[in-house]
Amino acid sequence: MKEILFIEPVLKERIWGGTRLKEYGYDLPSDQTGECWAISAHPHGDCVIRNGTYSGCTLSSLWNNHRELFGLTGGSEFPLLIKIIDAKNDLSVQVHPDDAYAAEHENGASGKTECWYVLDCKEDAAIVIGHNAKTKEEAERLIREGRFRELIREIPVHKGDFFQIEPGVLHSIKGGTVILETQQNSDITYRVYDYDRLQNGKKRELHTEQSIAVLKCPFRPTVGKPVTYRVGAATVKHLITCPYYSVEHITLSGTALMPAGKVFQNLSVIGGEGAIDGTKIRKGDHFIVPAEYGAFELSGALEIIRSSPCELMVK
């Protein structure tokens, strides 16, 4: 019988972070806590299992030594990374490489496709997704001349919004926004513009050449077609399936028997409380339902983001 793996998050201080991750029940290292690496086997924040047979083991060690838990035979690294991000202030405007560019220029690392579910945001909050340049030449000119205000495409954002960010797409989470991010397991970010902010008296490094190299022009938004279906008392909203992951939003009031999966599933409780197969869960809990665990019962009043890897991503 496989066990559900409850994950101990890793919290990260960031110059743009705040204190809102307290709302998820975490002890914060400081009043500038920007990221909760909720389900991660990345060396920059390798989460530890907090229950059962594997209590105290890192997620990367389970991936390396107990692959039967995941239902994927290929892949040298655990494929996904789940974060909650509290942007008290604006994050830098950035862009990520795709797999091919990262493999060639970043020591064989993965590229980064990511997606955002907006957990909360202030009134009239905005985010940056994409840019206004029609050609690479125009984008390059605006970047080199520092005309970022003309370049970046800023749009309003609301609680419950969902965005898919492909490699090569300029993006920035702006202040007053809390999001749950599902992404490829990668930490490669090219900073295009940092609002001319100072950290310890200095501007943070920009990665202008890499950014220009990977920026896709013109920008085209990825338009998802959310499909909603019912499982028992749960409403499941399918948000995206891309070559790397599938992501769903689950709202439950009552009981639902969720079907078994051939591969593992990441679940993050983003609201409410309840139970999974009789074990109590509440807002801020993150856990992995192993491959071939079988059907599992969710009960209570819960809001959950669920993700699973796509087979395609395992090389």
Catalytic positions: 191
Distance separating alpha carbons of residues 225 and 243, to the nearest angstrom: 16
DSSP-assigned states of every residue in 78-94: --EEEEEEEESSPPPEE
Q: Strand 5-8 vs strand 245-258: parallel, antiparallel, or unpaired?
A: unpaired
Q: Within a 13 Å sphere around the CA of 219, how many CA atoms are in the beta-carbon half?
A: 23
Closest CA to 246 of 175, 307, 182: 307
Q: Within a 13 Å sphere around the CA of 262, how many CA atoms are in the beta-carbon half?
A: 4
Alpha helices in the chain (DSSP H): 59-65, 99-105, 136-144, 148-151, 208-214
DSSP-assigned states of every residue in 119-162: EEE-TT-EEEEEE--SSHHHHHHHHHTT-HHHHEEEEE--TT-E
**How wide is the angle at C-alpha 33 spanned by C-alphas 29 and 36, nearest 5°?**
95
Q: Within a 13 Å sphere around the CA of 236, how many CA atoms are in the beta-carbon half?
A: 17
